[in-house]
């Protein structure tokens, strides 16, 4: 069931453009805004309050799917939730606009599009590396949480991610929570970069970062992706780097799906 849900969602993601009602941000912003009315989410907001706000929806979803509906209805609900949680149409649109601007030589517009997907973390990254990071946040991590914890796990990760973004990475507690949530998924994702990219170049970096608990998820992903794809700098072609890294990220998603399929056929996943 897990594999079927993933295949269905990825197929629909590939061939359609989702409306705002099929995007997680539409619901997470409204949900977190309701919590804002009770207690303003600031840099001093406690871990307990953050966890309560984030955990309630996944718990409700789990209880409903486990005790109130049958397996077929639970599968439909789970697939629908995954459809909402996975993907980021705004980033895809920004990437397409960047390529169009680059093709017509509008470097000023390219710079503006680059700024649109750069988050508030103070980690140097190129446009292509930021795209890899966004791919991880909206695809790979959601897939892994869905595989491990089902639809409630995907919702939990999406809400935690939205909470951190809402606070513009200024809340240390939210950052630590996301650091913990990303610890294993980002290492699994970056391991995939080794296997679908330049293995011998990226392996030493992956091993060096693997047991470093303090390294941020984004820096680990950026460093490994940089090593996994050898890109010659070309000032005349600003599309080569992002296009190459986007292809790397797409190959990695296919690799993750192949592993999930193997685990399903082997009886490790249902």
Q: What is the DSSP string of 110-152?
A: HHHHHHHH--S------HHHHHHHHHIIIIIHHHHHHHHHHHH
CA dihedral for 22, 52, 219, 197, sign (positive or negative): negative
Return the pLDDT at 120: 60
For 122-177, how does the pLDDT look when each residue is reduced to its tens digit (9 = 90+)?
778 889 999 999 999 999 999 999 999 999 999 999 999 999 888 877 788 888 99
Distance, CA of 50 to CA of 108 (rounded, Å): 39
For 178-201, how does the pLDDT look when each residue is reduced to its tens digit (9 = 90+)?
999 999 999 999 999 999 999 999
- CA trace torsion 220, 223, 224, 228 (10° rounding): 170
Name the token pair of 102: 């680059």
Q: What is the DSSP string of 29-94?
A: HHHHHHHHHHS---TT--HHHHHHHHHHHHHHHHHHHHHTS-HHHHHHHHHHHHHHHS--HHHHHH
For 98-114, how does the pLDDT look when each residue is reduced to its tens digit (9 = 90+)?
999 998 888 888 888 88
Element (H, E) at 101: helix 89-103
For 207-251, how does the pLDDT look when each residue is reduced to its tens digit (9 = 90+)?
999 888 889 999 999 999 999 998 876 666 788 899 999 999 999
Q: Is the pLDDT of residue 21 over 70?
A: yes
CA dihedral for 260, 261, 267, 270, sign (positive or negative): positive
pLDDT band at 34 (very low <50, low <70, confident <90, very high): confident
Q: Side-chain half-sphere of 201: how many Cα atoms within 13 Å? A: 13
* Helices and strands (DSSP H and E) totals, the chain: 12, 0
């Amino acid at each position: 069931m897990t594999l079927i849900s993933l295949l269905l969602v990825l197929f629909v993601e590939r061939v359609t453009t989702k409306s705002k009602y099929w995007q997680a941000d539409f619901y997470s912003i409204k949900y977190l805004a309701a919590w804002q009315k009770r207690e303003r989410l600031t840099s001093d907001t406690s871990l307990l309050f953050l966890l309560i706000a984030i955990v309630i929806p996944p718990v409700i979803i789990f209880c409903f799917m486990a005790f109130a509906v049958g397996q077929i209805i639970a599968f439909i609900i789970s697939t629908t939730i995954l459809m909402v949680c996975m993907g980021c149409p705004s980033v895809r649109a920004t990437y397409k606009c960047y390529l169009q601007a680059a093709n017509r030589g509008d470097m000023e517009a390219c710079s503006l599009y680059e700024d649109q997907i750069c988050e508030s973390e103070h980690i140097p990254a190129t446009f292509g590396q930021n795209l890899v990071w966004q791919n991880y946040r909206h695809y790979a991590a959601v897939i892994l949480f869905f595989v491990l914890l089902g639809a409630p796990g995907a919702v939990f990760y999406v809400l935690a991610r939205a909470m951190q973004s809402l606070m513009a990475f200024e809340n240390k507690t939210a950052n630590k929570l996301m650091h913990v949530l990303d610890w294993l998924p980002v290492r699994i994702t970056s391991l995939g970069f080794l296997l679908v990219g330049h293995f011998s170049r990226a392996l030493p970096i992956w091993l060096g970062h693997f047991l470093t608990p303090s390294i941020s998820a984004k820096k680990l992903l950026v460093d490994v992706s940089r090593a996994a794809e050898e890109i010659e700098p070309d000032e005349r072609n600003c599309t080569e780097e992002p296009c190459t890294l986007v292809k790397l990220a797409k190959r990695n998603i296919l690799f993750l799906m192949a592993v999930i399929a193997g685990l399903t056929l082997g009886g490790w996943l249902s």
